[in-house]
A = this chain, B = another copy of it.
C-alpha cells in the first residue's frame, strides 16, 4: 500500500513525484534543506512581492522536468537505465546546492574567485562520500564526463531543465506573464540525435518545437530586462555589496566589536580573505553550509543599530527598502565626470555629519558603477541549439526560424549604469 513516491504539491508543475528510495535521502540532508532558506531571486522579492520562492522549490522543479524529459526520450527510443535515471534526477536536484544567500550578489564578496558551481561540486563530493559512492554517476554527469553526453546537456546547456524551470517559476511568482514559457511543449519535442559517431550524443529539438524554443529565448530576454536586471534589483545588489564592504573595512580597522552582533557564520567569511582554494577545508564548508538568507537579514537588522553611522545607515536602507537610484548611461562615465560626482556625494555625506576624510573614504559605497550584460542566444557551434527535421538533418536554430528575431538577440547588449542616493541630484545625467 505504501507508494514508491513522495508527492510534493508544487504551484508551478502541480504534483511532483519523488522516488522515495533513491531521492528522498538526498532531499532530507541538511545541505538540501538549507536551500529552503535561500531565495531563488535574491533581492528580487523586494521588487516583486510574490517572488519569495526558494532554491529548494527550484531544485525540485528541475528534477521534475528531468523526469519528464527522460520519459519523452525513452518513449522515442533512447534507452535510459535505472542507474542513469537515478543519477540524472539526483544531479538535477543537486545542481544548485552550492548557492549561498543572495548568491549572484555576494559570491565574490564572501570568497575570492568563487563560483557557485565549484561549491556545488564540492558538496556533491561530500554527499557522495556520505552515501557510499552512490553519487558517482551523478558526479560524472555534473562534470560532463559521462559517455552519453546528452544527460549533461539536459542539465547544462542553452535549453536545459534548469533554465526551463527557473524561467517558468520566476515568471509565475513575479507575475511577469511575458516570461511564460511553453515548457511542456519544448520537452515533448526533445530528441536524442546520433551525431559525430557517438551512439546518442546530442539533445536536439524536433521541427515542430521551434516556435516554442524561439518563444523561450525571447521570453528569457524579457525576463532579464524586467526582472533579473530590474533597476531596483540592481540597486539592492549594490547596497548589499556596499554593506559587506563596510563591514570588512571596520574589521580591517580593528573595529570588529562594531559588527559582532551579526551572524557568526557570516562573519567567518568577512573576517577572512578566503579564495576558492579554501573550498575544500572543513571549516569553510561548515560555515558555508550554515549560511542562508536569515543570517543576512538578521545581521542587517542588528547592524542597523550599530554605532557606526555609515553601516547603520546602509543597513537601515536595506531593511526598510530605501534603496539607491539606478541611472543607465549611454557609456561608462569618464573619470573627470566621476570625480565631480564623487565630490558631490562627499559634500552630501559631510552634511549628514561625516568628517571630510570619512566622507571621502565612504563615497565609493554611496556611488557605485556597474554594467548589465545580456546575450539572448549563443549561436556558436558548441553552444547552439540544433533542430532536426523529418529527414533527420540537423540545422542550427536561428537558421530554421522564419523571422530574424533569434539572430537579432544573439549579439551582446551592454548597458552601463551608476547607483547613488535619491537625495542627491548628480549634475549632467542622462535619461
Give the interface of A toward B (CB within 8 A): 1-5, 7-12, 14-15, 17, 28, 30, 33, 36-37, 39, 45-46, 48-50, 52-54, 56-57, 60, 75-76, 172-178, 180-182, 184-185, 188, 206, 208, 211-212, 214-215, 218-219, 221-222, 225-226, 263, 290, 292-295, 297-298, 301, 319-322, 374, 376, 388-392, 402-405, 407-409, 411, 413, 415, 431
State the CA gap A185–B175 with chains docked (Å).
Answer: 10
Do A298 and B376 touch across chains, with their CB atoms under 8 A apart? no
Contact A184 B290, beta carbon cutoff 8 Å: no
Minimum Cβ distance to chain B for residue A186 (Å): 10
Pair A50/B11 contact, Cβ less than 8 Å = yes
Q: Is the CB of A215 within 8 A of B211?
A: no
Q: How many copies does the complex hold?
A: 4
Max chain B C-beta neighbours (<10 A), residue from A17, A60, A185: A185
Residue among B177, B188, B293 making CB contact with A185, cutoff 8 Å: B177
Across the interface, name the chain B residue whose C-beta is closest to A49: B57
- A312 CB to closest chain B CB, in angstroms? 14
Contact across chains for A14 and B175 when beta carbons are under 8 A apart:
yes
Across-interface contacts of A301 in B (CB, < 8 A): 290, 294
Q: Are A431 and B389 in contact (CB under 8 A)?
A: yes
Contact across chains for A174 and B9 when beta carbons are under 8 A apart: yes
Q: Are A176 and B225 touching (Cβ within 8 A)?
A: no
Cβ distance A56 to chain B, nearest Cβ, rounded Å: 6
